[in-house]
Amino acid sequence: MNRRTLFASVLFFLANGGAASAIDAHAGFSKRSAVLEFAQSCDLLENSQLLAVRSGKLQAKGALLRAGFSSGELREMERIAKLSVAVIDCANPEALAEIDLVKASHDSWLTLNNLPYPATHRSWKTSRNLDLLKRRWRAVQVLDSTENSLVQFGASSLQGRPSLDLLIENQSPPRSVLLRMRDPDRLENPPNPFLRKLLKLPIEGVAGLAPPATATQSFFAANRVVAETSLLSAETGVRGTRFGFATDALEAFSQLDPREAVILDMYWSAGLGKPDRHKRLYVEVGDFLAARIFAEAKDQVIEQ
């Protein structure tokens, strides 16, 4: 086995911070799977280093799924990758030298302050802000933008605690916000194009990635507050309202398939006896978990 080939794409990704589409995602997924298996079985990498490789593996996985590979095919690729390193001795000098290169690449990765994580229609903008005392966006996606208003959704952090938030700028805030996402217990995978047509679901844009209403779980925004200045698009001339979701919503969202989207339903009271005014927006999941791992990786280092 050529161990230098085994580790090459992982090193390339960690050193350059590129999206999975910048390399052969098929080889990248297999090789990152092999690296994780070898490093974990021999206890060769620290937690942050393992997370860096895992983030890259998740990007490769997202690229493959969006390219049409099935979850079963990816599981088989992962199985083969793990078998390929099972016979490598933990003391093998060549393999240990490659692990040292992974460590060096991780150190470069950890110095980056932001990376984009693009998907099919949208992208996640990430940030490793050094000030953990203020609430900051860590991974954020723009849902709606006009000349005077901006709607953003993503993960923020205050003193190292992650939070899933919706921010609405320069407009009357809704009375309530409901987040709807696929319930894995009702629908194991996102509906394929054939099922979408059969169920008469949207097939275009981000809406074309959302689940059917009958297979969703719902999360109401747990709190509504005036948005912190550190989350706004400008320090002056902008007002905003932040809606925060509970931790279970963040964790459920983090585990969704990178090929799907979630639904945000916003409701405004129209007055006594009148039906609520309603607006629907969509969030593309994409490589959110990979982006979140990148954004949060430095928090513990900063706090030490």
Instruction: Give 156-189 pLDDT, tens digit per residue.
Output: 988 778 999 999 999 999 999 999 999 999 999 9
What mean pLDDT do residues 20-44 have? 82
pLDDT of residue 137: 95
Residue 300's pLDDT band (boundaries 50, 70, 90)? low
Residue 20's pLDDT band (boundaries 50, 70, 90)? very low
What mean pLDDT do residues 37-59 have? 93
Instruction: Give 233-257 pLDDT, tens digit per residue.
Output: 988 889 999 999 999 999 999 999 9
Instruction: Give 96-136 pLDDT, tens digit per residue.
Output: 888 888 898 899 999 999 999 999 999 999 999 877 788 99
pLDDT of residue 10: 43
Tokens of 170: 């320069």
Express the helix, strand and coil content of the chain in percent, nearest 5 each.
Answer: 40, 25, 35
Residue 4's pLDDT band (boundaries 50, 70, 90)? very low
DSSP label at residue 142: E
What lies within 8 Å, CB to CB, of 303 at 6+ separation is: 132, 160
C-alpha 242/C-alpha 131 separation (Å) is: 20
- Hey, which residues does 179 pair with through a beta bridge? 219, 264
C-alpha 176/C-alpha 181 separation (Å) is: 17
pLDDT of residue 302: 54
